[in-house]
Amino acid sequence: PGVQPRAVPQALEQQYSPSRWSPRLGSDAVIEAHLEALAAGTQRARAGVRTSLHVPYGDGDREKLDIYFPAEPSGAFPVLVYIHGGYWQCLSKDESGFAALPLVAQGVAVVAVGYDVAPEGHMDAMVLQVRRSLAFLVRQYSGIRGVYLCGHSAGAHLAAMVLATDWTDYGVTPDIKGTVLVSGVYDLQPILHTYVNDVLNMSQEVAQRNSPLLCVPPAAPTSCEVLVAVAQHDSPEFRRQSQEYGQALRAAGWSVSLLDLAGVDHFDIIEKLSEESYVLTQVEEEPPSTL
């Protein structure tokens, strides 16, 4: 009886520790390899693509965008907005351009969003920053022909919160045509009971109002199509969250596809976006027809 109360939190700790579920490498090694892969891919993209780096969308140090432009944009062009993961407490836009090379080759601009990670950043503020970055982007660049969102892990959560935005407060409504959510967390309440919240310091109220699963809006007539992707080697909790959020969107009238990717874990599911032949890269090169 003395250890019973700790059983559930311990189980949650493991479920929400993605590095423990990779069959490729040990927990520390898979994270190190992930950071190296993202940084190397971004370095290649910056060397081979026309960029505008550190474009401010606000006054904060991290309120900046990195933009990777197509070589010869023919007038209007689609934009893929990438929102990085890192459990809301690490990574940045500076390692988030790794998907740019294959996408700009197809005429798609790629934008990596910076936001304040914890402990400086708080959950309400992060959600607001990502929303503001989208509003800035569509106001600033008139050549955008459709916005496509892609977020990984914590970034998938933030992208999902963008879908729940009431844009009347922003003076502009981004034309979000498609969203790719990769290995995300859509209900923050279980996180409250894990090490992740040691840095985030969320209350129950903050977790609830920032849980996409709990604020699914009804689909608008022109609502975007959503692809919810999850890795074979994500934990059962991550897989459950993806399935339940996809079902909730569908119940609210959204057009949703669930993609369960075999042979990948929580990390290489997104790293492979730097590869031309990867299924998610192909989805994002031609988002309107393939989502």
Indicate which residues carry an active-site annotation. 153, 234, 266
Sign of CA dihedral 26, 121, 44, 72: positive
- What is the phi-psi region of residue 231: left when phi exceeds 0, alpha when psi lies from -120 to 50, beta otherwise? beta
User: CA-to-CA distance for 105 and 126, rounded, in angstroms?
Assistant: 31
User: CA-to-CA distance for 127 and 163, rounded, in angstroms?
Assistant: 11
Beta bridge mates, 231: 261
When computed from its CA atoms, the radius of gyration of the chain, rounded to whole angstroms, is 18
Nearest to 155 by CA among 191, 179, 136, 119: 179
